[in-house]
Amino acid sequence: MTTYNFDDRNIHWNRLDGIDHLLYSIFDIDEKNKIIDVLFKFSANQQIVLHRHKALNTMLVIQGEHRLYEANGEIKEIRPVGRYTVSLPSEEPHREGGGDQDAVVFFSIRGSEGVLYEILDDNLNPIGSLSMQDFISLYKAQQDSGEN
């Protein structure tokens, strides 16, 4: 079987302040139906900040392995390229990252106007959040910069 590499040269990647090893590019926000379509890039062999998903997320792995880690850093799940996953809102904290190469994952975040992701410290204390309004502001800034 032929394998292909995802060519992301025409995607303008952005950074989220305070979240290392993660890039994003927002494709669309449907405010009426509360849907955010975004591409995330997780750095190879790294883990992003501990967090909880507070809204429904559907995901498709475009490149690499999407790795999920328990709060203690132990590997929880490895999602290979092509894997589609539906992740319900959960109080269970986790980290995410890439495998031996950067992982590119398409996320469709659905159904909430409020907090979508709760950011935690290593003691499971909330230290921040990302809301629908935060993503709307990020998307506007992305559009204002001329990059979509």
Q: Model pTM?
A: 0.94
Residue 20 pLDDT class (50, 70, 90 cuts): very high
Which CATH fold would you assign to the domain 14-143? Answer: Jelly Rolls (2.60.120)
Segments making up each domain of the chain, as ranges: 14-143
Query: Residue 146 has what pLDDT?
Result: 73
pLDDT of residue 112: 79
pLDDT at 147: 64
Band of residue 111 on the pLDDT scale cut at 50, 70, 90? confident
Contacts of 145 (CB under 8 A, 6+ apart): 12
Mean pLDDT of the region 52-78: 97
Token reading at 53:
């998903």
Average pLDDT along the chain: 95
From residue 43, alpha-carbon distances to 3, 60, 97, 138, 143 in Å are 21, 17, 6, 20, 24
What integer pLDDT is reported at residue 64 of this predicted model?
96
pLDDT per residue over 113-148, tens digit each? 889 999 999 999 999 999 999 999 999 999 988 766
